Structure 1
């Protein structure tokens, strides 16, 4: 494993990402929990991939609109709970055409800066971005498969 100066855990259990409207416990993990990300506070990163064609029937097509809307919805849903529990919330929203929401770009820029200052070889820096790229591709593939028409026999 390569050391990048960033400590994180995927699917990390946090006990405050609940939906009080559900009336029952809906505990869910943070997609990625980055330890000590901002001012010593941990960051809950929520990965969200969307089709850029979502909601197209209701308005004109705008590049990135679906990803920006998804990021905004995630902030509304989770940011207050994270802040109340001394965490930072970062929506990492992207669409299947490759658009990244500004918060995702900021996160990647910071990861890149940390890696440049802590990692010695270009190959080891490649590993992190290849893993991230694979995770995004896997999410896109799952989204496409979910939309395939079912064939009844």
Structure 2
């Protein structure tokens, strides 16, 4: 007896359209190592406040377990300092879950110092170098308006 897996294979390989979006915007004047570091820090905060973004744990064919990751792609954008600041304002006005990274954090050495550096500056004066947001697709698209996909 043979089983026709065409329908199942097609359904599993069809692109999934998510109702939500995870997006990161980085300032376009960052060095490569900074872009990578900032992105990693920014997305690390989303899963703790929006657990629905986390998928199931992974395992390889040998049964070795791996940690779960986001269940959907992370879109990475870049823009000027003004674009990042505007995205921050729009994310705040929409009350979207967000994480931020300021230029001050490049000079700190641990989490406590990071929080103190952010706490020391009024929100409208933060020197933002990156922002991550999560929420309904259309709201996140509006937050990222004016930014371009990271090359």
Taking structure 2 as the reference length, the TM-score comes to 0.27
Structure number, greater radius of gyration: 2
Could you say which structure has the greater relative contact order, defined with CA pairs below 8 angstroms and 6 or more residues apart?
A: 2
Taking structure 1 as the reference length, the TM-score comes to 0.26
